[in-house]
Amino acid sequence: MVVKLLYYFLCIFFMVIFILLSQDPYLLDLENFSESKPMVDFFNVKDYKITQNGVEIQSTADRAQRFKDRDVLYGIDVLIMKEEGTDRLKSDNGTLKDNILYLNGNVRYARADQFNLTTESVEYHELSKVLMGKTPFKFESQNGKAFGDSFVYNTKSGQIEAQNFKALMQMRDK
């Protein structure tokens, strides 16, 4: 009786082992991922770019989804540390693809010297540190406001090129 039970137990045990070994439950088949379903979905994401001088960029997002060829971010807030101070780039959502951050919805760029840019969509090229917008924008500073249809803004040098640019400047009394 005991030998029969041991025999049945061993048979069942080897059948279960064979079934488990014949399956691949932990392998990811990256070729068959759907383009509409993310591979990874994160919430409350923080990212830091650290150089020899310390933290250069601190990025946060309420949600991040990684697809095969891009990252989709929601509730983006990027702090860019410079010698002159800290710049801030905020947006409702965006897509990171090939070192270009495409931002959409309530895009706001604020420099440390009270220079602010607002628009609806913008491209931020991470390698060249250039902000490009093809939608109407508004620049604000302590001395005035400026409006235009599209712009290219170099965040390193502070130079701007704009189309259909209109400026309202305040003159100081001497």
Is residue 34 very low, low, confident or very high in pLDDT (cuts 50, 70, 90)? low
Contacting residues for 113 by C-beta, under 8 A, at least 6 apart? 84, 85, 141
The model's pTM is: 0.72
Query: Percent of the chain at pLDDT above 90?
Result: 25
54: left (phi over 0), alpha (psi -120 to 50) or beta: left
96-152: per-residue pLDDT in tens? 999 899 999 899 999 888 888 899 999 989 888 898 999 999 988 888 888 888 889
Mean pLDDT of the region 17-26: 70
pLDDT score of 170: 73
Q: Are 144 and 167 in contact (CB under 8 A)?
A: yes
Least-confidence region, from 1-5, 20-24, 95-99, 143-147: 20-24
Read off the tokens for 111: 């420099």
CB atoms within 10 A of CB 172: 5
Rounded CA separation 81/36 (Å) = 35
CATH number of 37-169: 2.60.450.10
**For the chain, which residues make up each domain, given as ranges?**
37-169
pLDDT score of 164: 84
Rounded CA separation 168/143 (Å) = 9
Judge whether residue 156 has pLDDT over 60: yes
Is residue 8 very low, low, confident or very high in pLDDT (cuts 50, 70, 90)? confident
Judge whether residue 63 has pLDDT over 90: yes
Contacting residues for 84 by C-beta, under 8 A, at least 6 apart? 112, 113
